[in-house]
Amino acid sequence: MGIFNRKNDTAATAVATLPVDPALAALTGDYTIDPAHSSIGFTVRHAMVTNVRGSFGEHEGTLSLDGSNPGASAASIDVTIASIDTGIADRDGHLKSGDFFDAEQFPLMSFRSTEAAQLGGDKYRVTGDLTIKDVTRPLSIDLEFNGTATDVYGNERVGFEGSAEILRSDWGLTWNAALETGGVMVSDKVKLNFDISAIKNAA
Q: What is the pLDDT of residues 132-177, one digit of tens each?
A: 999 999 999 999 989 999 999 999 999 999 999 999 999 999 999 9
Q: Are 150 and 157 in contact (CB under 8 A)?
A: yes
pTM for the full predicted model: 0.86
Strand partners, 50: 46
Task: Give residue 116's pLDDT.
Answer: 80
Q: pLDDT band at residue 2, thresholds of 50, 70 and 90? A: low
DSSP 8-state assignment for residue 26 = T
pLDDT at residue number 41: 97
- pLDDT tens string 10-32: 333 333 344 556 776 788 899 99
Say how many C-beta atoms besides its own lie within 10 A of residue 16's C-beta.
6
Q: How many residues does the chain have?
A: 203
User: What's phi and psi for 102, nearest 5 deg?
Assistant: 50, 60
State the pLDDT at residue 29.
93
Would you place residue 101 in the very low, low, confident or very high pLDDT band (cuts 50, 70, 90)? very high
Where does the pLDDT of residue 3 fall: very low under 50, low under 70, confident under 90, or very high at 90 and above?
A: low
- Residue 66: pLDDT band (50, 70, 90) is confident
